[in-house]
């Protein structure tokens, strides 16, 4: 069964600390896609990154970086030098619909990140 | 600007009073979905559509209806809302499976 687990419910850090948000996924398919979304207090969902199962290269975008490891079924997200504006709920999601019909994203439960000044 | 537009943003209604939440996208996307977000449960798919006149149930379809008469619009209909449908609702669209979804701003629905 497909599943996404974000074991960290809440994380609190002080500004400028680095923080890693964990994401572990389960799927039987060899082709799948992984995503991270940010939900700030205003409520909208902001797309951060998409990674397909054949691309295990880590990615860096400014202060954000992602570590994809198929061997451990993990897709972790690190924020370097965190800022107060990073405070949000972060969702990891999996899309593995082999038929390509449902377009369904399977979300983890989310990790609430609080960055204190 | 490429976007998914949901209306209304906030809605308080009474049990049993039919309501429609509208969703429109301007990106000519084939895929559209509705999700509901509840504390501790993440987001769950309600209904999805692969194209015009093609819709199907997601994980939690009970109490909801949808239609896809035009490619850009995908309204969510609650024929007889109940308090357990109080939630935050998101519409999303995507060009192809796995390409990443664009989400609307959300509709916070309260049924009393």
Distance (Å, whole) CA B75 – CA B25: 11
From B103, B71, B73, B102, select the one nearest B89 (Cα to Cα).
B103
Cβ–Cβ gap B58/A102 under 8 Å: yes
How large a percentage of chain A has pLDDT more than 90? Answer: 69
Distance (Å, whole) CA B95 – CA B60: 23
Euclidean distance between the first and the last CA atom of chain B, given in angstroms as a whole number: 36
For residue A37, list chain B residues with Cβ-Cβ distance below 8 A: 103
Q: Is A110 on the interface with B (CB under 8 A)?
A: yes
- B98, two tokens: 């796995």
Sign of torsion, CA B28 B87 A100 A97? positive
As a whole number, mean pLDDT of residues A79-106 equals 85
- A44, two tokens: 């909208």
Do the beta carbons of residue A76 and residue A67 sit within 8 Å? yes
Residue A86 DSSP label? G
Cβ–Cβ gap A107/B105 under 8 Å: no
* pLDDT at B98 exceeding the cut of 70: no
Please identify among residues 7-36 of chain B the ones whose CB lies closer than 8 Å to any CB of chain A: 31, 33, 35
For residue A50, list chain B residues with Cβ-Cβ distance below 8 A: 98-100
pLDDT digits (tens, 9 = 90+) for B7-49: 999 999 999 999 999 999 999 998 899 999 998 888 999 999 9
């Amino acid at each position: 069964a497909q599943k996404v687990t974000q074991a960290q419910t809440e994380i609190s850090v002080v500004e400028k600390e680095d923080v890693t948000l964990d994401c572990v996924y389960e799927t039987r398919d060899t082709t799948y896609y992984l995503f991270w979304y940010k939900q700030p207090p205003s409520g909208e969902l902001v797309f951060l990154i998409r990674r397909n199962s054949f691309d295990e290269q880590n990615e860096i975008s400014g202060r954000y970086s992602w570590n994809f490891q198929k061997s451990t079924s993990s897709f972790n997200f690190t924020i370097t030098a965190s800022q107060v504006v990073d405070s949000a709920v972060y969702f990891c999601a999996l899309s593995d619909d082999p038929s390509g019909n449902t377009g369904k994203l399977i979300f983890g439960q989310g990790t609430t990140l609080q960055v204190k000044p | 600007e490429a976007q998914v537009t949901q209306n209304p943003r906030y809605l308080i209604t009474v049990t049993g009073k039919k309501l429609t939440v509208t969703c429109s996208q301007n990106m000519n996307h084939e895929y559209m979905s509705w999700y509901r977000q509840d504390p501790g449960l993440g987001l769950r798919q309600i209904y999805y559509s692969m194209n015009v006149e093609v819709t199907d149930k997601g994980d939690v379809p009970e109490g909801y209806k949808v239609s896809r008469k035009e490619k850009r619009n995908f309204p969510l209909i609650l024929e007889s809302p109940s308090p357990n449908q109080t939630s935050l609702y998101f519409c999303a669209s995507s060009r192809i499976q796995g390409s990443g979804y664009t989400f609307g701003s959300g509709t916070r629905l309260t049924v009393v």
